[in-house]
Amino acid sequence: MRVLPGFVLSFLLISSVEPHRFHLPNAGGKYLTKNEQWLDQTVDHFSPTDHPQFKQRFYEFIDYYQVGGPIFLKICGESTCPGIPNDYTAVLAKKFGAALVSLEHRYYGKSSPFDDLTTHNLRYLSSKQALFDLAVFRQYYQESINVKYNLSQAENPWFVFGVSYSGALSAWFRLKFPHLTCGSLASSAVVLAVYNFTEFDKQIGESAGPECKAALQEITELVERRLQSDRGSVKALFGASQLKNDVDFLYLLADAAVIAFQYGNPDVLCSPLLDAKATGKSLVEVYASYVKDYYFGTFGSSVKSYDLQHLKNTTVSNESGDRLWWFQVCSEVAYFQVAPSNDSIRSSRIDTKYHLDLCKNVFGEVMYPDVDMTNLYYGGTKIAGTRIVFTNGSQDPWRHASRQISSPDLPSYIIKCHNCGHGTDLRGCPQSPLSIEGNAENCTAPDAVHKVRQQVINHIDLWLSQCKDTGPDDDEPDMFLASRRMISSE
Ligand SMILES: *[C@@H]1O[C@H](CO)[C@@H](O)[C@H](O)[C@H]1NC(C)=O
Ligand SMILES: *[C@@H]1O[C@H](CO)[C@@H](O)[C@H](O)[C@H]1NC(C)=O
Ligand SMILES: *[C@@H]1O[C@H](CO)[C@@H](O)[C@H](O)[C@H]1NC(C)=O
Ligand SMILES: *[C@@H]1O[C@H](CO)[C@@H](O)[C@H](O)[C@H]1NC(C)=O
Ligand SMILES: *[C@@H]1O[C@H](CO)[C@@H](O)[C@H](O)[C@H]1NC(C)=O
Ligand SMILES: *[C@@H]1O[C@H](CO)[C@@H](O)[C@H](O)[C@H]1NC(C)=O
Ligand SMILES: CC(=O)N[C@H]1CO[C@H](CO)[C@@H](O)[C@@H]1O
């Protein structure tokens, strides 16, 4: 998943759209607020001597807030953060009488510490710095809401939320700063850094089912063959002539199939392919129509995201997210979506070396994602935090980088249905077009979504109420009463 900075489509705003980034469909203009506020943030939290600052963007929405109630921090991940969308987190905020706040991730959107994104300037782009940003913001905002309500030293109960990479940040925030939040929702949270992420392709095969999978494999073979004989025409057929490197092109083709399953539209892809098989139409041509109409059209991805020239561009723009996320991939988390050695859907030319070469090419120096250090720092699937609720969608290829097992302190739920993908608990299905408030009526098993949502609500309710008893500071004013029960029961 390349997951996200924003471009406007006529009816849908997608924040960044390739599957090697987790591209999450965006809110399409339905925001509770887009009113930017700014925080002076430290560029390097780990330097003992040097403390330059940059401006980091955040948003607040307090219409649902009942004084003394909880503060919900919705973590923004690897994309521009244009505001606070009126999504399912907002539904929860209303239910709990919570203030909603959201901080843009450093470097993305308008929160870049540097004017130029050279490799050297990206040295402060990491999840570790981002978590520290969240901690600083949490303290800053607590003070500012105290001032607003003329309270001193008050501590509201906080809860953090995130999906995908920001879901991992949500879990990691609770792990590393347990005194700053009562709990965390980690939706489709990729907490395990994986070097050769072959399970990703395998899950696509399982989500597709045997016939659609076989059709996709046949397409890969046919395209590979045509790349040998007539490279130019097959790229042109997909509108991707600008990609000089054949494997970049094959990567685009793999991603295009992934998003159908990742975001809950399997039939948009598989129905026409199975029909082509049955009626003898050209599979490659039918796939090319899908890529152009759906992946580039409806979904809003672009060929550019796969173009090395674009990834090398160091100018700060609304399209910098591709480069920034690759930097995090190449340095910290990998998730290299390499072809499994057997029964792969994607081309076997998409291998480990392809990814390492891309990193070297784009950033101009040898980079090696130190996944062992990342997992050592956070614990991977053995994360030893408490009060974190994990959710996964059954069809989502990313779920294999999420937590595997459930325990009382770290409950984990899987939502099973034909179109349950990435972040389904918060976003519903399908996610393109997205029903911004996360309506689940078009999930093939709405009850599966409702059940997990109810569990999530129960955990939030319980953990907010327990927060005061176990909080670090017994002298706090008794501000937690409002959070002991939800404001409304549905
Ligand atoms: C970036 O901004 C330009 C100019 O404002 C706009 O035309 C373009 O669609 C935007 N692209 C994205 C990806 O948001
Ligand atoms: C704030 O609280 C102080 C002390 O309780 C009080 O004197 C003051 O009038 C309050 N100010 C506002 C704006 O409510
Ligand atoms: C990843 O795959 C490559 C190529 O198959 C192999 O050489 C390497 O040892 C693998 N690395 C890990 C950490 O699995
Ligand atoms: C780099 O990106 C900027 C902003 O999108 C654009 O104006 C510029 O032309 C790009 N440079 C190259 C060499 O493509
Ligand atoms: C390779 O995949 C096929 C199809 O799933 C399976 O039947 C076969 O056993 C696999 N071979 C190996 C060596 O894993
Ligand atoms: C569910 O699907 C129907 C038919 O496509 C559509 O009209 C309706 O708007 C969808 N509902 C939601 C909440 O997306
Ligand atoms: C609780 C639960 O079902 N978690 C699932 C999350 O995804 C992983 C990977 O598929 C499963 O192994 C877990 O069972």
Ligand 3 and 352: CB distance under 6 A: yes
Ligand 5 and 343: CB distance under 6 A: yes
For residue 396, indicate whether it is catalytic.
yes
> What whole-number distance in Å separates Cα of residue 358 and Cα of residue 320?
16
As a 3-state breakdown, the chain gives helix, strand, coil percent values, each rounded to 5, of: 45, 15, 40
pLDDT in tens, 102-145: 999 999 999 999 999 999 999 999 999 999 999 999 999 999 99
Instruction: List alpha helices for 120-265, DSSP H.
Output: 127-148, 165-176, 198-208, 210-237, 246-262
290-304 in b/e burial notation, b at 16+ Cβ within 10 A? Answer: bbeebbbebbbbbbe
Ligand 3 and 341: CB distance under 6 A: no
pLDDT beyond 50 at 383: yes
> What whole-number distance in Å separates Cα of residue 126 and Cα of residue 428?
29
Output the CA torsion sign for 23, 165, 134, 470: positive
pLDDT in tens, 249-292: 999 999 999 999 999 999 999 999 999 999 999 999 999 999 99
pLDDT at 12: 28
Ligand 4 and 315: CB distance under 6 A: yes
> How far does the centroid of ligand 7 lie from the alpha carbon of residue 399, in Å?
7
pLDDT in tens, 392-416: 999 999 999 998 789 999 999 999 9
pLDDT beyond 50 at 376: yes
Q: How far is CA 90 from CA 97, 321, 434, in A?
A: 10, 25, 15
pLDDT at 25: 57
For residue 40, indicate whether it is catalytic.
no
Q: For residue 74, which amino acid is it?
A: K
pLDDT in tens, 294-349: 999 999 999 999 999 999 999 999 899 999 999 999 999 999 999 999 999 999 99
Q: Please, which residues bridge with residue 216 across strands?
A: none
Using alpha carbons, select from 176, 177, 172, 133 the residue that is nearest to residue 158.
177
Q: For residue 333, which amino acid is it?
A: V
Q: How do strand 53-61 and strand 37-42 relate by DSSP bridges?
A: antiparallel
3-state secondary structure of 61: strand
pLDDT beyond 80 at 7: no
Q: What number of residues does the chain have?
A: 490
pLDDT beyond 50 at 206: yes
DSSP string, 334-403: EEE-PPPSSS-SS-TTS-HHHHHHHHHHHHSS-----HHHHHHHH-GGG---SSEEEEEETT-GGGGGS-
Residue 116 phi, psi (nearest 5) = -130, 130
Q: Annotated catalytic residue: which of 15, 164, 166, 305?
A: 164
Nearest CA to ligand 3 atom 10: 196
pLDDT in tens, 212-242: 999 999 999 999 999 999 999 999 999 999 9
CB atoms within 10 A of CB 174: 26
C-beta separation of 33 from 53 below 8 A? no
Nearest atom, ligand 6, residue 442 CA? 1
pLDDT beyond 60 at 480: no
C-beta separation of 56 from 101 below 8 A? no
DSSP string, 452-467: HHHHHHHHHHHHHHHH
> What whole-number distance in Å separates Cα of residue 128 and Cα of residue 131?
5
> What whole-number distance in Å separates Cα of residue 13 and Cα of residue 263?
15
Nearest CA to ligand 3 atom 14: 196
> How far does the centroid of ligand 3 lie from the alpha carbon of residue 376, in Å?
19
Ligand 4 and 116: CB distance under 6 A: no
User: What is the pTM (predicted TM-score) of this model?
Assistant: 0.91
Q: Read off the pLDDT of each residue in 32-61 and give the average, rounded to a whole number.
A: 96
* Exposed/middle/buried for residue 462 (C-beta within 10 Å: 0-12, 13-18, 19+): middle
Q: Annotated catalytic residue: which of 87, 201, 248, 396?
A: 396
pLDDT beyond 70 at 447: yes
pLDDT at 354: 98
pLDDT beyond 60 at 1: no
Q: pLDDT band at 82, cuts 50/70/90?
A: very high
Mean residue pLDDT of the chain comes to 90
The two three-digit tokens of residue 461, written as one number: 């309710």
Task: Indicate which ligand has the atom closest to the C-alpha of 348.
Answer: 3
The matching CATH number, chosen from 1.10.760.10, 1.10.730.10, 1.10.220.10, 3.40.50.1820, for 11-191+379-482 is 3.40.50.1820
Query: What would you report as the CA-atom Rg of the chain, rounded to the nearest whole angstrom?
Result: 22
pLDDT beyond 70 at 185: yes
> What whole-number distance in Å separates Cα of residue 59 and Cα of residue 55?
13
Q: pLDDT band at 26, cuts 50/70/90?
A: low
Task: Indicate which ligand has the atom closest to the C-alpha of 452.
Answer: 7
Using alpha carbons, select from 27, 23, 28, 20 the residue that is nearest to residue 5.
23
> How far does the centroid of ligand 6 lie from the alpha carbon of residue 434, in Å?
10
pLDDT at 47: 94
Phi-psi group of 84: left, alpha or beta (phi > 0 → left; psi -120 to 50 → alpha; rest → beta): beta
Nearest CA to ligand 4 atom 2: 315
pLDDT at 158: 98
C-beta separation of 2 from 21 below 8 A? yes
3-state secondary structure of 96: helix
Q: pLDDT band at 483, cuts 50/70/90?
A: very low
Ligand 6 and 435: CB distance under 6 A: yes
Nearest atom, ligand 6, residue 441 CA? 13
Q: For residue 228, which amino acid is it?
A: Q
pLDDT beyond 70 at 477: no
Nearest atom, ligand 1, residue 319 CA? 13
186-211 in b/e burial notation, b at 16+ Cβ within 10 A? Answer: bbbbbbbbbbbbbbbbbbbbebbeee
Residue 14 phi, psi (nearest 5) = -105, 130
Q: Read off the pLDDT of each residue in 473-480 and give the average, rounded to a whole number.
A: 42
3-state secondary structure of 454: helix
Using alpha carbons, select from 199, 195, 191 the residue that is nearest to residue 379.
191
Q: Read off the pLDDT of each residue in 17-34 and give the average, rounded to a whole number.
A: 65
> How far does the centroid of ligand 3 lie from the alpha carbon of residue 184, in Å?
33
Q: Please, where in the chain does CATH 3.40.50.1820 lie?
A: 11-191+379-482
Nearest atom, ligand 4, residue 313 CA? 1
Please tell me the least confidently modeled range out of 7-21, 353-367, 423-437, 461-475.
Answer: 7-21
C-beta separation of 14 from 33 below 8 A? no
Task: Indicate which ligand has the atom closest to the C-alpha of 203.
Answer: 7
Ligand 4 and 312: CB distance under 6 A: no
For residue 15, indicate whether it is catalytic.
no
